[in-house]
Chains A and B, each alone.
Chain A
């Protein structure tokens, strides 16, 4: 039972354009959402997060949007750079003092120069 789904295994974008990575979830108890980036032979690194009390969070070139009614979140990268090429994982946690993270399967982003 996949509670967090990233339906696009891969995405290819031209340098300078916008990258949009999508994530859907099924558990309405999730109240905190995170995006992680992973390069080969490294561990996932935290990128950006959003709590359920917000619908948007920005950090430089990265913006995360949350649509609670649709149980959908997305990560926008503008402008995309070749160094952004990596695997991106969506994750979610639930509960008053949420601890466990449930991860999606990941999306491979390739930014072409």
Chain B
């Protein structure tokens, strides 16, 4: 299995530009997560999807951030307009949410996208 695939690995953009990060989850997984990692806040959950439906977006910092999952094999995280404080590493993760208790929620992460907004 190829694992979770994120693109691009690095993105450098100027303030005000639109940024789109992409993620391909592991085939067969039914949950997808977007995280942001910064020195100040560590690894924080932005949004997650179950069966392509957004379940919890309470971690999305503001309206400039949006995420979509049009099908089971693709998701995007968009920032428009981007600001310097958005500079961080963004991770995508996927998991197979089961029905047993306790649910063994093992999330598998991509390599991340390092975003720099100048």
Task: Check A99–B4 contact: CB distance below 8 A.
Answer: no
Specify which of B33, B48, B106, B110 is in contact with A46 (CB 8 Å cutoff).
Answer: B106
Which size class do A's interface residues fall under?
A: 20 to 34
For the complex formed, measure the closest distance between the CB of A99 and the CB atoms of chain B, giving whole angstroms.
Answer: 6
Q: How far is the CA of A105 from the CA of B97 in the complex (A)?
A: 24
How many A-B contacts are there with CB distance less than 8 Å?
71
Among A43, A96, A98, A102, contact of B109 (Cβ-Cβ < 8 Å): A43
- Number of residues in B with C-beta < 8 Å to the partner? 29
- A49 near B111: Cβ-Cβ < 8 Å: no
Instruction: Determine if A25 is an interface residue (Cβ-Cβ < 8 Å).
Output: no
Q: Could you give 19 example pairs across A and B, Cβ below 8 Å?
A: A32-B102, A34-B106, A42-B112, A43-B91, A43-B109, A43-B112, A44-B109, A51-B102, A93-B102, A93-B103, A97-B98, A97-B101, A99-B55, A99-B95, A99-B105, A100-B45, A100-B48, A105-B42, A106-B42
Known contacts A43-B112, A89-B43: A99-B48 contact under CB 8 Å:
yes
- B interface list, Cβ under 8 A from A: 4, 31, 33, 42-45, 48, 50, 55-56, 91, 93, 95, 97-99, 101-112
